Amino acid sequence: MNDKIKVSLRFPRTLFGSEQYSVVFEVTNIGNKALSEIAVKPLLIPGIPLNRKELPSSTEFDKLQNQKMKLLKEMEEQIAEALERESKKKMGRTEVLIRDLFKMFQEISIFVPILPFKVKISKDDPIPYWAIEATRINEWDDVERLELVVMANETEESFLLKSFLVNKDKLKRVLTKISDKVVVPENKLKLNSITLQPGETISFTFRYRAPHIYRQRSYDCQFNVSYLDEEIQVMGNHSVGDTLTFYSSPFSVPLGSALGALVGFGVKNTFISPVAWLSKEFWTNLFGSMLLAIIFAFITARSPQTKKSFTVEDFTGGFIIGAICGLFSERVISYIGSVVPK
């Protein structure tokens, strides 16, 4: 048990796929001495990170801090790009092509969630986790070291290298302005300096878009916090994790019902009450069956405020409802007419 800090995770208990959600990581100093250089890193969290909105800055110092954080993020992304380029040089053409295609499919699936499965790149990622952590920028010395070790592999004509050097100059100017307000030697100026006094609590909010899922699933969530114990000048680490359970994405039930209605209508038109394929009557009946199925899907779909006695929660349930509407659309409509008061 850590006797310096207490950490906890807070998140909504009802989560749905494809929707935005927030995870709040709280750090409390339960020791007797101040802790500095507080840094929280998500190690494992489901979904796609969303950019946090920049809070309005009322002072020039706050504006400089925001500029610094933006430049640090850009430079770390440029370092990651240089590492990936270097790793690709060691791959064969076929392996690079396959990886790029899979990456493209993953990006498309973010905006066009039409398939009930995910394309996953193999676990042998070009940039391992430990390499990403090693290239984090915490001090000015890190910038110069990464330029020498990583960016030196780029050619002089490389736009990536030129962009990194431009950002380096911008960062140096921003740090100079900050050092004028906080008297600290430039080469020792901490780029992520958060100090927590005894008894104080600080919260970090992370916003994500949940993955597209077609049935209820659970994901592991894990964070790590690092800090400097100023009493003994030693860095400490602490991790905390939990399990997040997501219901299916909102689109999964209507999508399943529409496909189910299509299949159900096809079966009915083939074996029960056939009409001429692709005729006007065919399209009218098909459209009516799909519309009826989608209406039922929205009526029965689970929602955060749901208090229904009967709910459909995933793609499979929607497909079954749709197939019933496609097969027995006339009976469903007749039943609705019999229970609706005249």
**Span 77-127, pLDDT tens digits:** 899 888 888 877 766 666 656 666 666 655 555 444 444 444 444 444 555
5-91+126-247 in CATH: which number? 2.60.40.10
Q: What is the pLDDT of residue 236?
A: 85
Nearest by Cα to 302 from 15, 109, 18, 13: 15
Q: Summarize pLDDT for 287-298 with one digit per residue, the tens.
A: 999 999 998 888
Q: What is the pLDDT of residue 255?
A: 92
pLDDT band of residue 4 (cuts 50, 70, 90) is: confident
Contact 276, 269 (CB under 8 A): no
Nearest by Cα to 131 from 70, 51, 76: 76
Which has the higher per-residue pLDDT, 148 or 333? 148
| Domains in the chain: boundaries | 5-91+126-247, 252-339
Q: Which regions of the chain does DSSP assign to beta strands (E)? A: 5-10, 15-16, 20-29, 35-44, 48-49, 201-209, 217-229, 234-247
Which has the higher per-residue pLDDT, 236 or 60? 236
Structure tokens at 31: 């020791």
Nearest by Cα to 219 from 71, 23, 80: 23
How far apart (Å, rounded) are the C-alpha atoms in residues 290 and 265? Answer: 9
Degrees, nearest 5: CA angle 151-51-245: 115
Beta-strand relationship, 234-247 and 15-16: parallel
Which residues make Cβ contacts (< 8 Å) with residue 194, sequence separation at least 6? 36, 37, 38, 39, 202
Contact 278, 266 (CB under 8 A): no
Section 26-44 average pLDDT = 87
Q: What is the pLDDT of residue 297?
A: 86
Structure tokens at 89: 């040089």
Average pLDDT, the chain: 79
| pLDDT at residue 309 greater than cutoff 70 | no
Other CB atoms within a 10 A radius of the CB of residue 200 amount to 12
Q: What is the pLDDT of residue 44?
A: 85
Burial of 264 (0-12, 13-18, 19+ CB in 10 A): buried
Which residues make Cβ contacts (< 8 Å) with residue 116, sequence separation at least 6? 214, 252, 315
Name the residue type at position 314: D
Which residues make Cβ contacts (< 8 Å) with residue 303, sequence separation at least 6? none
Q: Provide the Cα torsion 187, 188, 194, 195; round to 10°.
A: -160
Q: Summarize pLDDT for 184-220 with one digit per residue, the tens.
A: 444 444 445 678 888 989 888 899 999 988 889 999 9
How far apart (Å, rounded) are the C-alpha atoms in residues 212 and 199? Answer: 40
| pLDDT at residue 262 greater than cutoff 60 | yes
Residue % of the chain over a pLDDT of 70? 75
Q: What is the pLDDT of residue 115?
A: 47
Structure tokens at 121: 């790149």
Q: What is the pLDDT of residue 306?
A: 59
Q: What is the pLDDT of residue 165?
A: 92
Structure tokens at 68: 């610094």
Contact 322, 293 (CB under 8 A): yes
Task: Report which DSSP code applies to 59.
Answer: S
Q: Summarize pLDDT for 118-171 with one digit per residue, the tens.
A: 444 444 455 565 666 677 787 788 888 888 888 888 888 889 999 999 999 999
Which residues make Cβ contacts (< 8 Å) with residue 213, sequence separation at least 6? 17, 18, 246, 248, 249, 252
